[in-house]
Amino acid sequence: MSFVGQVALLLWKDIRVEARAGELIYATGLFASIVVLLFSFSFLGGSPPTVEVMAGVLWVALALSGMLGISRSFERERESDTLRAILLSPTPRAALYLSKLLSMALLMLIVVVVVLPGLLLLFGMRVDGGEAWLRLFALLGLGIIGFSSVAALFGAALGRARVREILLPLLVYPLVVPVLLAGARGTYAVLYGTPEALVDASRWIKFLLAFDALSVTCGLWLFEPLCGHE
Amino acid sequence: MSTSQRETNVSSITVLAALCLLAAGGYLIVPHLILGAPTEPTMGFVQRIFYFHVPSAWLAMMGALTAGVASAIYLYRGSERADEIAVSAAELAVIFGLCAIVTGPLWARKAWGVYWQWDVRLTSTALLWIIFIAYLFARKYGGPGSKRLAAGLAVFGAADVPMIYISVSIWRTIHPKTTVVPTLDPGMRPAFWLSMLTFMFMFFVLLGMRRRLERLRARYDALYLEAQDAGLIDD
Amino acid sequence: MSRRTVSGLLMMFGVCGVLAASPVLADEVPDRPAAPAAPAAATKAPDVPTAAKYAAPGAVKPDAEGFVPDSRPANMNTVDESIPAAPLVATAYGFIWLAVLGFVLVTLQRTRRLEQEIADLSERINNPSGKPAGKASRA
């Protein structure tokens, strides 16, 4: 089977498991909406929220909900020991890493689907024009990949650590700060909307591209040493 | 203790002692040089913090890079020596990073009016610091395989260092550019470079000390296992 | 596809990514025409920019080489004269001494304790008889 085929098969396995259980999608989606609600209570009491606030809320909600979903996903894998089973098979490690990355990314996409409308409705966020939307989606897409690349690596690597529930966020969040930074600043530029701002957003998109390239490469190189020795 | 081990101890202690003396000498002489250097026109006396803020920051980055490279070697070759160097360098990155993060705002309060400003270099440096604190945390609480986990984190973190260094040239920020150093006033150069040299000696001294602690720990672990095998310890 | 091929491809991808973010390909890194003024005070209406980054030029003039800083509060052009400099410099210097000395002392203490434990353990291994087995502590 080709490399891409293996990645697709592993990814499909994750999707089918989740489709049957459903727990992860609903729980993560619900958590994401609760986070948006919490933020709306905090910020919408007095004067109307600024564009910076909206950008920040989007990315923090993404980070929090994403972490929850990813954490739970790996917990479930550990419970049924499926990760070790796959590691024992002759699947190339790179395929396993990429499939994990993509399934985490899909999970975070669900979070976006919940959070973005929440912001549009509750916060009155406005994105003007097709170009702005395009940039917003690029930021979100690249941001999700960056976040997932780090989380997939360390989620799989944590194995049987004693305090893994607290350790995963502690390891992943510092490393994905550049993603959150670029995402929030880029989103702010997109929401602001002027042509110069959109040019600025493109700069942040390029930054995210560079970061994603770096982190996916690092993840591929590190996956075998960190996880392959179970 | 075998003869070769004893010899290694002696020679490394000699090197450490020599570096120690140099560092101590540096620490005594450099303040005079710093006070004697010309006063920077715009910022005045507070600019003298630059003489130890910049070396601290550079050494934090050097510690981070060392830890990253050593971690990569540990992950791919399984070399325990590399792991010892990695953890020592990581601790030093945290210590010197702390120095940079404390001295920077002290300078900034007077020169800029605020303690902190979210520009790229400050953000990246704070990030580096937090990453290596997480490294130490992962090593302590990571359970089995914590060394590998932490090593993975260090490799990622070390990639942050070039980003810090080039960040100032790519993003126009308020932080003084890297090119400030080559264009220093000639009167400031001896003080600066000697300060830098002193800090570097200090770095290698501390690295050596900390590595020795790690090697002792490895020896202790080996002895412990031996004692367990001999049934001397009921565990 | 072998692992080496995948890695090679991704390295290339990585290099391209870094190039994409570098000034070589980026067309907007050189001087932005708009000049930023003070950044956020957080309570402004959504359609007024909080950092006047995209506002019309005028607030802060670019310097000789056209450098316009990305982030700078309004009062950063002048040094704050009300605070005496000497205590700051002394505190900074003192802090570094404290940090380095603290590290040295803690490391020395741990080293000494570990050497003691090694000596104890070696002693017990070499003289196994006549000593009751007890728990050795891990340093």
pLDDT tens digits for range C28-40: 333 333 333 333 3
Q: For residue A230, what are the CA distances in angstroms to A33, A103, A104, B147?
A: 37, 22, 22, 14
Shortest CA distance from C98: residue in chain B: B99
pLDDT higher than 80, residue C25: no
C100 and C64 in a single domain? The answer is: no
**Residues of chain C contacting A, Cβ within 8 Å:** 1, 3, 6-7, 10-11, 13-18, 20-21, 25-26, 28-29, 32-34, 40, 42-46, 49-51, 53-54
CB-CB contact of C135 with B234 (8 Å): yes
Task: Give domain status of residue C73, yes or no.
Answer: yes
Percent of all residues in chain A with a pLDDT value above 70, rounded to a whole number: 96
Of A52, A151, A78, A83, nearest in space to A111 by CA: A151
Q: Hey, are the CB atoms on C99 and B98 less than 8 Å from each other?
A: yes
Between A175 and C92, where is the model more confident? A175
Positive or negative torsion for Cα A108, B150, A173, A134: negative
- pLDDT, mean over chain B: 79
Q: Hey, are the CB atoms on C20 and A202 less than 8 Å from each other?
A: no
pLDDT tens digits for range A82-128: 777 777 788 888 888 999 899 999 999 989 999 999 888 888 888 88
Enclosing H/E stretch for B193? helix B189-229
CB-CB contact of B86 with B111 (8 Å): no
The lowest-confidence range among A120-124, B130-134, B160-164 is: B160-164
Supply the DSSP symbol for A22. -
Separation between Cα atoms, residue A53 and residue A39, nearest integer Å:
10
Separation between Cα atoms, residue A131 and residue A189, nearest integer Å:
12
pLDDT tens digits for range A56-76: 999 999 999 989 888 888 888
Number of separate domains in chain C: 3
Q: How far is B235 from chain C (nearest CA, A)?
A: 7
pLDDT tens digits for range C92-125: 888 888 888 889 889 989 999 999 999 988 888 8
Q: For residue B15, what are the CA distances in angstroms to A84, A102, B12?
A: 47, 51, 5
Supply the DSSP symbol for A159. T
Write the ipTM: 0.86
Of B134, B142, B159, the CB nearest to A218: B159
Domains, chain B, with CATH or none? 20-223 (1.20.120)
Separation between Cα atoms, residue B141 and residue A136, nearest integer Å:
39
Q: Hey, are the CB atoms on B213 and C110 less than 8 Å from each other?
A: yes
Of A47, A206, A207, the CB nearest to C43: A47
The predicted structure's pLDDT at residue A156: 84
C67 and C98 in a single domain? The answer is: no
Q: How far is C65 from chain A (nearest CA, A)?
A: 21
Domain assignment of residue C54, given as a range = 35-40+47-77
C63 and C90 in a single domain? The answer is: no
The lowest-confidence range among B35-44, B89-98, B213-222, C94-103 is: B35-44
Candidates A160, A175, A180, partner chain B, best to mutate (most B CBs within 10 A): A175
Shortest CA distance from A158: residue in chain B: B149
Of B103, B110, B220, the CB nearest to C114: B220
pLDDT, mean of residues A3-28:
86
Domain spans of chain A? Answer: 3-227
CA dihedral C36, C39, C41, C42 (to 10 degrees): 110
Between B133 and A42, where is the model more confident? B133
pLDDT tens digits for range B16-47: 677 677 767 766 666 666 666 666 666 666 66
Chain B contacts of A154, Cβ < 8 Å? 149, 152-153
pLDDT, mean of residues B61-90:
93
The predicted structure's pLDDT at residue C41: 34
Kindly provide the b/e burial profile for residues B136-151, where b requires at least 16 CB atoms within 10 angstroms of the residue's own CB. bbbbeebbebbbbbbb
- Cβ burial of C122 (10 Å; 0-12, 13-18, 19+) is middle
Task: Give domain status of residue C139, yes or no.
Answer: no
pLDDT, mean of residues A171-183:
89
The predicted structure's pLDDT at residue B66: 94
Whole-prediction pTM value? 0.79
C115 and C98 in a single domain? The answer is: yes
C73 and C90 in a single domain? The answer is: no
Shortest CA distance from A94: residue in chain C: C3
pLDDT, mean of residues B128-139:
92
Chain B contacts of A157, Cβ < 8 Å? 145, 148-149, 152
pLDDT higher than 80, residue B95: yes
- Cβ burial of B184 (10 Å; 0-12, 13-18, 19+) is middle
Task: Give domain status of residue C61, yes or no.
Answer: yes
